[in-house]
Structure formats: structure tokens, C-alpha cells
Amino acid sequence: MATTAAAMGVAVAGTPWRARANEHFATLEAMEASVQLAPEGYPTTDIWGYGGTSPGTLIRVAQGGRVQRRFVNSLPQPSAIHWHGLRSDNAMDGVPGLTQDAVAPGGSFDYDFVAPDAGTYWYHSHNRSTEQVARGLHGVLIVEEPDTPDVDRDEVLVLDDWLLDPETVQLATPIDAPHSRSHGGRIGNLVLTNGTFDQTLDVQQNQRLRLRLVNAANARIFSLDLIGLEGWTLALDGMPLDAPEAIGGAIVLGPGQRADLIVDVVAEAGAPAYLTRAERGGSQPQATFAVTGQASRARRGLPDALPPNPNDTVDPSSDVAQLAFNMEGGAMGGLRRATFEGEAMAFRDLAQANQFWSFNGTVGMTDTPFASFDRGQTARLSILNDTAFPHAMHLHGMHFREVLAGNALGPWRDTLLMDGGERRDIAFVANNPGKWLFHCHMLSHAASGMMTWMEVA
């Protein structure tokens, strides 16, 4: 710090440059609020939100720039902010107990880190996250490419669901019932986009839109389709695909995952245009595009790919650290015994402790990491989902690629959605030093055993 300040010709004279600069950080306050979530006619719902809304304050920063925010905790519980998908400094990763202490009610913490990769990211509480994210503590972080693609509109669509008591429209309790912990997680009964029941965008035929989809739900998997819109997927989990991929079938997003689409409005004025989600027995509008008029006579041509982010190349055929990673447990699962807090326990005793899942026979966090890597080493994880449920496995601090047949590589990602019974391999270069979580992003699962960590020296 002193070196940087001196190089800039700034006298630091005993005061750390950073502490002084922090006074100018914008505040990001987590607070209680009451907002209209349910349709008109229903009462408001008590939430916790960054800036008093859910989704919270939208943050935009230029690629290579710094994210600098003073987190102020005005909640009745300790909290911390995790910057999901950011290859940030470990000390800024926001995981209480691993990278920082939880910020007490009334306290604050200064987050300050570089955003090396352009794309669509998000931030959320990582303390008691099943409850705190369910109460609304999440927001979107956009890291802008230096040259933004040629579109008429850039729209963020945050997909979320809330489990509310239908009478009071307050959060249904218990927040984290044993049934949702051992089954598919806390699934809501009110599905929203950008915190509203009937998200509508006014558009014109042949307009080109960039849609940034973020799945901020605790556990819901969204399966999305387009009506009256046609286009391409440009990025997944913020990371650009090598080439835009025409959208043919459903766009599936597990909790924590994102997709950047470029779509053209092909519907004529007055004709239906929707983003829809699949539901049992049909599909429901997730966002409505009200088409009025025509922006131009014809659609534009194919979009260019987004420029790649500056990550190390993954080479799964090189000398890799190969690890097996078996997920077990849950309802209808095969978990009979596992180690929990250093003790071998039978399933019924684990269930007593509200723990239902294990990785390689171990339930939840341990004092020593699941794996340790030398910096720069390539790691390959062969992940077996030996359970009856899908899981969304999220790695902090680094991005990975799926290893496909013949060592072909899938797109860069930070969260891998796996079906029950599947085996999938991922590989990444362990190039970011620190302690990084690897957990299921179905937050009730993470709280019931599906959470471990790795260390990069």
C-alpha cells in the first residue's frame, strides 16, 4: 500500500493509505424493509435487503476496476457479503469462519478487490445463508466489458422464489425445515423477477436486448423458454462462450447460475412475447415483453462473441491432481454412516442433528481442507452425485471447466448443476491463493452437510 501511495506521490505519514481511502467507499447497507412482493391487494412482506430492496442495489464496475463498498450491517443478525463468481482476494470472499468474522449487528466491513473478469455476477449473504438469502439478501454485480456488445437494451432479470404464508404473506416458518433440508431445499410459492410478480418490459419489434439472467433462489431450478424472442447464449456464469450459441431448447439455471443472452424481439406489435418457466402442468410467464411498434425493418446479423476473460488455460491431459468426490445422502439416499465433526455417526443420529448429506463420507466443514493445491497446479475432480436429487456445486474463487469425452472442455463456469446419479468431471487451475468453499448452492443442502473447502498455497 505504502509503495503504491509513494509511487503516486502521495504522502502517507503514518496513516495507511487504504484506511483513509475507505472513508470514500459507497455504503452497502443490509437492512430490514417491507415491500410489495405479492400481487396488488395483498399486504407487503417484511424482507432483509441490501439498500432495503430485493434484489438489492445493482453494482456496476469496469473490468479490471475495483469493487469498493462499505458493508453496514443494520440487521438483527451477524452477516457478511460473498461476491459469487468473482476471482477476488481470499480475504474479501465474505465467508464467516473461513475468510473473515461475521459482521455484528451495527458493525461494518470494507470490501475492496479487483474484478478481473467481465460478466454477470451477484452477491449475497454467506452467513446463515438459507435464512438470510431467503429473506432477500442478494444483489447483482455487473463487470462491464471494455467494449459492450451492440444491443439496444441491457436488462438484468433476477429470478427468485419466496416461500410465504398465504394468509400473512410473511416468510413461512420454519425457514429451514428438516423436510426441505433432506429433499429438494426451500422451494417458494411466489416466483418473482426483479422482486415483482409481473415484470414487464416495453420493447419494439427487431430490438436487440441483452438479458442477464440470475438465479438467486434458495433451491429452485429454472427451466426457461422464449416466446416471441429469438437469440443466443453468450455467457454462462458470467464467462463468455467461445462462440454465441443459438437458443434451441430450454435454458436451465440451477441456484447461483447465470446466463447472458442476446435476443431479438421477433414478435410483431401486440403479439405475445415472454420469457417463460416450465412448471408442472404447463408454463408460466417469468417476464413479459410488451411489443409496441417496430424499431427497424429487419433484425440485425449474428452477434459477435464476448471477448474471453484473462484466465489460465485448463489442460486436463497435463499432470493433474486427480480427486474423487462422492455426494451421498438425502431422502431416498444411501447415506448410512458418515463422519460429522470428527465422529462416525449413523444416519438416524445425523438426522437428529439436522444433517443429511456428505461428501466422501464427511458431513459439512472440517478443520483441515478437503484438498490442498500448490499454486498453479491443475486439479481434476470426478464428481459422483450418488443421491436422488439434483445439486448445484459451486466453487469459490476460481472458475472451472467441465471435462467431456476425449478431454474436450465445456464452458467456463462457477456452478455445476448435476442430476441425481450423474458423474461429471471438472478441472481448474488452482491459481488463486487462499481458502475456498466448494458447496451445494441449494442452501438447505449446504447447511445440512454439503459444504467443504479447499486450500491453494
Footprint of ligand C2O (CB under 6 A): 82, 84, 124, 126, 256, 394, 396, 437, 439, 441
Q: Do residues 229 and 289 make contact, with C-beta atoms less than 8 angstroms apart?
A: yes
Q: How far is the CB of 315 from ligand C2O (least distance, A)?
A: 27
415-418 and 409-413 as β-strands: parallel, antiparallel, unpaired? unpaired
Q: Which of residues 371-410 bind Cu ion (CB under 5 A)?
A: 391
* ω into 55 cis (within 30 of 0): yes
Q: Which does 128 bind (CB under 5 to 8 A by kind): ligand C2O, Cu ion, none?
A: none
Closest approach of Cu ion to the CB of residue 440, in Å: 3
The Cα 2–Cα 12 span in angstroms is 7
| Least gap, CB of 392 to ligand C2O (angstroms) | 9
Nearer to ligand C2O (CB atom), residue 83 or residue 232: 83
Nearest approach, Cβ of residue 414 and ligand C2O (Å): 8
Q: Which residue, 273 or 447, has its beta carbon nearer to ligand C2O?
A: 447
Phi, psi of 149 (to 5 degrees): -65, 160
Binders of Cu ion among residues 431 to 450 (CB under 5 A) are 440, 442, 445
Contact partner, 258, from ligand C2O, Cu ion, none, Cβ < 5-8 Å per class: none
CB 64 within 8 A of CB 114: yes
Count of other CB atoms within 10 angstroms of residue 149: 17
User: What number of chain residues touch Cu ion (CB under 5 A)?
Assistant: 4
For residues 160 and 317, give the distance between their C-alpha atoms in angstroms, rounded to a whole number. 39
DSSP class of residue 126 equals -
**Min separation Cβ 229 and ligand C2O, Å:** 28
**What is the nearest approach in angstroms of ligand C2O to the Cβ of residue 42?**
29
Any idea how long the chain is? 457
Pairwise CA distance, residues 164 & 114, whole Å: 38
Alpha-carbon span 51 to 137, nearest angstrom: 10
Q: Which of ligand C2O, Cu ion, none lies near 439, with the C-beta cut-off 5 to 8 A by kind? A: ligand C2O
Which does residue 437 touch among Cu ion, ligand C2O, none (CB within 5 to 8 A, set by kind)? ligand C2O
Beginning with the edge strand found earlier in the chain, give each strand of the sheet holding 153-162 in spatial order: 190-193, 153-162, 208-215, 258-265, 229-236, 239-246
- Nearer Cβ to Cu ion, position 181 or 399? 181
445 binds, among ligand C2O, Cu ion, none (CB under 5 to 8 A by kind): Cu ion
Residues that bind Cu ion (CB under 5 A): 391, 440, 442, 445
